[in-house]
Amino acid sequence: MATSMKALGLERLSPAERVLLAEELWDSVAGQGEMPLLGEAHYADLQRRLDEFRDDPKAGSPWEEVKARLLGGAS
């Protein structure tokens, strides 16, 4: 089965049509209930991070600082 945008001819769709298709695809996967979106380890890590944030919300960095560091704009 062809799974690329080009093989499926999806590049000819407008951006709005592709967004609608992506939403429809996501809904079809989310509705299956067979496959967890996160594994237990990922869920546990997210829960740990959320707990750490709740304990000390100022311990992290604002998104703009993180983005600047990642892009090399800050040290």
CA atoms of 34 and 26, how far apart (whole Å): 14
Supply the pLDDT for residue 55. Answer: 94
Share of the chain above pLDDT 70, in %: 88
d(CA 41, CA 52): 16
pLDDT tens digits for 39-69?
A: 889 989 999 999 999 999 888 888 899 999 9
The pTM of the full predicted model, rounded to 2 decimals, is: 0.41
- Domain boundaries defined on the chain: 1-35, 40-70
How many Å apart are CA 50 and CA 2, to the nearest integer? 39
H or E element that contains 30: helix 15-30
Please state which of the ranges 2-6, 22-26, 42-46 shows the lowest mean pLDDT. 2-6
- Is the pLDDT assigned to residue 17 strictly greater than 90? yes
